[in-house]
């Protein structure tokens, strides 16, 4: 078998992402993301969970392909989410129908 050629950092759809591509893509958004093989993750699960709790994202790979990600837990918000939306909408009074403005704009074009 020929040795594998080092892949470039350009993402090609359909090809598995390399650990380097995963890190660089995350860095573009200011996110620290580490890539760990599943065997290493099994051995270091407690440490990986602590890192995730601090805000890091850890991608777990199997056979070189990303399979899962460990991220910080955020509880699901409970309550009445629509109440805040209703309050926000109430701060913006309804405007008259916009059809007259659209018709006027279209008439000016001809």
Model confidence over 58-95: pLDDT tens digits? 989 898 888 889 999 988 777 666 667 778 888 887 77
Average pLDDT over residues 30-41: 85
Higher per-residue pLDDT: 85 or 2: 85
Strand 33-37's sheet: what is its strand order?
Answer: 33-37, 57-62, 65-70
Q: How far is CA 100 from the centre of its chain?
A: 41
Looking at residue 12, its pLDDT comes to: 55
pLDDT value of position 30: 66
- Residue 69, SS3? strand
Instruction: Give 26 or 71, the one with higher predicted confidence.
Output: 71
Lookup: tokens for 6: 């080092």
Per-residue pLDDT at 41: 94
Q: How many CA atoms lie within 13 A of 59 on its CB side?
A: 22
């Amino acid at each position: 078998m020929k040795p594998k050629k080092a892949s470039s950092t350009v993402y090609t759809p359909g090809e598995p992402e390399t650990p380097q591509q995963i890190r660089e893509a995350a860095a573009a958004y200011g996110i620290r993301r580490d890539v760990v093989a599943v065997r290493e993750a099994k051995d270091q699960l407690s440490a990986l969970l602590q890192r995730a709790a601090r805000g890091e994202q850890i991608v777990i790979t199997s056979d070189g392909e990303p399979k899962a990600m460990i991220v910080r837990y955020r509880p699901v918000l409970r309550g009445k989410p629509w109440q805040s939306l209703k309050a926000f909408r109430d701060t913006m009074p309804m405007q008259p129908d916009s059809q007259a403005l659209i018709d006027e704009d279209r008439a000016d074009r001809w």
